[in-house]
Amino acid sequence: EPEVTQTPSHQVTQMGQEVILRCVPISNHLYFYWYRQILGQKVEFLVSFYNNEISEKSEIFDDQFSVERPDGSNFTLKIRSTKLEDSAMYFCASSEVGTSGPSNEQFFGPGTRLTVL
């Protein structure tokens, strides 16, 4: 069964460093998303991406964050200067094209645990 994959599974970094989290969405999906979940808290939307541009972003997704689809399979989230409060699980998700816009069902990858020291 096709699935979303993410690398690395765990990333440890120093405050102020840049990190890149990688995702390979399900192959026939064209809508991509990043969510994060701080330990003990709810899953929060960060950004959605379609046709090589951001469709929507949340207040969390400030200038320190960026997303890119560098090739035909990868989807990345970059955090330019990490803060302690960026420590969280970051989930990539994807959905296929629906009748008008994205299909409603989003499928999540296993996540990257980011620890900022």
What is the spatial distance between Cα 114 and Cα 9, in angstroms, rounded to a whole number? 9
Distance of closest approach, residue 78 Cβ to another protein, in angstroms: 20
Quick note: the x/- pattern for another protein over 38-77, rule CB under 8 A, is ---xxxxx--x------xx-x-------------------
Check residue 34 for interaction with another protein (CB under 8 A).
Answer: no
List the end-to-end C-alpha distance of the chain, in Å, as a whole number.
37
What is the helix (H) or strand (E) element at residue 20, kind and residue range? strand 19-24
Q: Which of 21, 23, 29, 31 binds another protein (CB under 8 A)?
A: 31
- Distance of CA 112 to CAs 38, 78, 97, Å? 12, 13, 25
Amino acid at residue number 103: S
Site for another protein, rule CB under 8 A: 31, 33, 35, 41-45, 48, 55-56, 58, 89, 91, 101-102, 104-111
